[in-house]
Amino acid sequence: MNNTIANLKIGESGIIEDFSLDVIPLSLLEMGCLPGKEVKLLQVAPFKDPLYIKVNGSHLAIRIEMAQQIRITRL
């Protein structure tokens, strides 16, 4: 499991792989976090949670549990 958003280092990017809404809520999808889009890790809070990401033009903060569910292909 080293290919999720949670495994990115600050400044690194990846392409989001397809996922199911059972693990990732609709609202995240609606805010632009779509399969095939590039995601970049901008900043992490202490204890690496939450994570501050830029995806598909949106700047978002998500919790680590959710970041661990979003699989990516590293760039």
Partner 1 sequence: MKKKSVVNIALVGNPNTGKTSLFNQLTGLKQKVGNYPGITVDKKLGTCKISEKLSAEIIDLPGTYSINPNTLDETIVLETLLNNDGDSFPDLVIVVAEVENLKRNLLLFSQIKDLQIPTILAINMEDQMDRKGIFIDVEKLKKELKSEVVLISARKNSGIEALKKEIENYTDWNTDPISNISDKIDPAFFKEIETTFSEFSVYKTWLLITQQRNCIFLSKELQNKINAFKTKNEIIKKYQHKETIYRYQKINEILKETYKVNRSEGSDLRAKLDSVLTHKIFGYIIFASILLLIFQSIFEWASLPMDLIDGLFAHLSELAKNNLPQGVFTNLIAEGVIPGIGGIVIFIPQIAILFLFISVLEETGYMSRVVFLMDKIMRKFGMSGKSVIPLISGTACAIPAIMASRNISDWKERLITILVIPFTTCSARLPVYAILISLIIPNQRVLGVFNLQGLTLMGLYLLGFAAAISSAVLLHNVLKIKSTSLFVIEMPNYKLPSLKNVFYEVIEKTKAFIFGAGKIILALSIVLWFLASNGSSAFKNANQFVTSQVESKELSEIALKKKIASYKLEHSYIGTMGKTIEPIIKPMGYDWKIGIALISSFAAREVFVGALATIYSVESEGEDVGTIKERMAAEVNTVTGEKRFNFATGMSLLLFYAFAMQCIGTLAIVKRETKSWKWPILQLTGMSGLAYIIAVIAYSILS
Cα-based distances in Å from 11 to 30, 49, 54, 64: 24, 16, 10, 17
**Which of 13, 15, 49, 68 lies at the binding interface for partner 1 (CB under 8 A)?**
49
Cα–Cα distance, 72 to 33 (Å, whole number) = 12
Q: Does the protein bind partner 1 through residue 63 (CB under 8 A)?
A: yes
59 binds partner 1 (CB under 8 A): yes
Interface with partner 1, residue 42, by CB under 8 A: yes
Site residues (CB under 8 A) for partner 1? Answer: 20-22, 25-32, 34-35, 42-43, 45-47, 49-50, 52, 54, 56-63, 65-66
